[in-house]
């Protein structure tokens, strides 16, 4: 099933010659509608597809998930700078899910 998010567009503020996976994840999160719930599979599948479609670059899904965990746990300033808050929610399954708050 496709994600319920509108197709994200290429950022004008991101320099095209430096496609940093962490910045791309933040850019993707900033385009998600407020109070959307995302799961691990969104990071691994949807972000990877969005990057490939938008920038023509491929990233390993496991790398994107590892970078997302790093942002969420160690580099929270990146989320704060983008005015994004992630709230972990429990949906009763094995997959971790987060509610994206304050995304523009």
pLDDT digits (tens, 9 = 90+) for 53-83: 999 999 999 999 999 999 999 999 999 999 9
Q: H helices within 19-75, ranges in order?
A: 21-30, 40-41, 48-55, 61-73
Token duo for residue 2: 């496709």
* pLDDT, position 17: 53
DSSP state of 43: I
* pLDDT, position 91: 77
Q: What is the pTM of this model?
A: 0.79
CA–CA separation, 60 vs 66, rounded Å?
Answer: 10
Q: Which residues contact 104 (CB under 8 A, 6 or more apart)?
A: 30, 83
Q: Average of pLDDT values for 5-31?
A: 73
Token duo for residue 103: 């995304």
Q: Average of pLDDT values for 22-46?
A: 92
Q: For 38-47, 62-71, 88-97, which range has the lowest pLDDT when averaged over its residues?
A: 88-97
Residues linked to residue 86 through DSSP beta bridges, in sequence order: 100
- Going by pLDDT thresholds of 50, 70 and 90, the confidence category of residue 1 is very low
Give yes or no for residue 98 having a pLDDT over 70: yes
Q: Which helix (H) or strand (E) holds 71?
A: helix 61-73
């Amino acid at each position: 099933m496709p994600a319920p998010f509108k197709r994200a567009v290429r950022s004008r503020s991101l320099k095209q010659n430096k496609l940093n996976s962490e910045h791309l994840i933040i850019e993707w999160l900033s385009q998600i509608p407020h109070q959307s719930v995302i799961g691990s599979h969104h990071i691994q599948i949807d972000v990877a597809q969005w990057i490939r479609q938008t920038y023509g670059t491929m990233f390993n899904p496991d790398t994107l998930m590892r970078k997302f965990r790093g942002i969420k746990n160690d580099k929270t300033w990146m989320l704060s700078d983008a005015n994004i808050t992630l709230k972990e929610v429990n949906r009763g399954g094995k997959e971790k899910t987060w509610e994206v708050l304050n995304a523009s």
